[in-house]
Amino acid sequence: MEFDFKIELHLIKLLGIKAKNIEELYEQFQDIPLSSIYYHTHRFLKQHHFLSPEPPNDFAYWIKNTLNIKDLSEAIASIDTIKYQDLNELKNEISLILDDYLKKTNKTNDCQKGEEFHFMSCQTFVLPTGYKANNLQEFYETIKLIDIGSIYFHIFEAKLRLKKDENDFQSWLNQIGEDALSKQFINLDPYNMTLENLRKKILQIIEKRL
């Protein structure tokens, strides 16, 4: 059973929609496409994981650094975006937090001109990396070489694509009879390590089996 390592590329689009305060952010939020939800959450997580764990999403970042609303920023930043298998559910969760804040607030302050939140989206293209593995040893050696974006794609993007808790690596390991090894991939937490440390953790898990 061959594992074909893939990676994704994004074509970024500016939607021409912006918000200068929380009220406008909430109103515009209702109509933006799910591709925009993805861009402002998962894209941010992927890029900033090269440096440090626990990054906020774009919404939380703007609310904190532009509007200086710490409690609301923390509430949105605390959302575990990776756990959601459906972007509609993630969108609803963020929307509820914004709505709850507005119900408790009499006035929403505007940001300075030029610092508005600009909604963006992206079109995703999945491409082969050229790397393949036919057994656990080859899989182990390939993990050392592939772009970190490929690991992110197969571990975390898999939940959105497959709409289930099992990621691509787990699925393949189960198919080749490595059920016990597969179970060790369940608790890999993107908020507790950088992506490079995630690579090291995966290698350590497999090393114990080889």
Q: Where are the domains of the chain?
A: 10-122, 125-207
Q: What is the pLDDT of residue 191?
A: 64
DSSP annotation of 163 reads -
Measured from the Cβ of residue 175, the count of other Cβ atoms closer than 10 Å reads 12
Q: What is the mean pLDDT of residues 186-191?
A: 72
Q: Does the structure show a pLDDT above 70 at 48?
A: no
Q: Which among 160, 161, 148, 165 has a CA at the least distance from the CA of 202?
A: 148
Q: Does the structure show a pLDDT above 50 at 50?
A: no
Q: What is the mean pLDDT of residues 17-26?
A: 97
Phi, psi at 131, each rounded to 5°: -95, 135
Q: What is the pLDDT of residue 46?
A: 61
- pLDDT category at 51 given cuts 50, 70, 90 is very low
- Residues contacting residue 117 through CB under 8 Å, at least 6 positions apart: 18, 19, 20, 25, 58, 59, 62, 66, 111
Q: What is the pLDDT of residue 173?
A: 95
DSSP annotation of 191 reads T
- pLDDT category at 53 given cuts 50, 70, 90 is very low
Compute the distance between CA of residue 65 and CA of residue 42 in angstroms, rounded to an integer: 19
Q: What is the pLDDT of residue 44?
A: 60
Compute the distance between CA of residue 114 and CA of residue 116 in angstroms, rounded to an integer: 6
Q: Which has more pLDDT, 54 or 207?
A: 207
Tokens of 118: 């600009």
Cα Rg, the chain, nearest whole Å: 19
Compute the distance between CA of residue 158 and CA of residue 190 in angstroms, rounded to an integer: 14
Residue 170: what residue type? Answer: Q
Cβ-contact 129, 6 below 8 angstroms: yes
Q: What is the pLDDT of residue 83?
A: 78
Residue 67: what residue type? Answer: L
pTM of the predicted protein model: 0.77
SS3 content of the chain, % helix, strand, coil (to 5): 55, 15, 30
Range picked from 55-59, 111-115, 183-187 for highest mean pLDDT: 111-115
Helix (H, G, I), strand (E, B) or coil at 122: strand
- Give residue-wise pLDDT tens across range 64-123: 999 999 999 999 999 988 778 889 999 999 999 999 999 998 778 999 999 999 999 988
Q: Does the structure show a pLDDT above 50 at 210?
A: yes
Cβ-contact 181, 206 below 8 angstroms: yes
Compute the distance between CA of residue 195 and CA of residue 208 in angstroms, rounded to an integer: 20
Q: What is the mean pLDDT of residues 186-207?
A: 83
Q: What is the pLDDT of residue 116?
A: 97
Q: What is the mean pLDDT of residues 3-10?
A: 92
- Give residue-wise pLDDT tens across range 131-181: 999 999 999 999 999 998 899 889 888 777 767 778 899 999 999 999 999
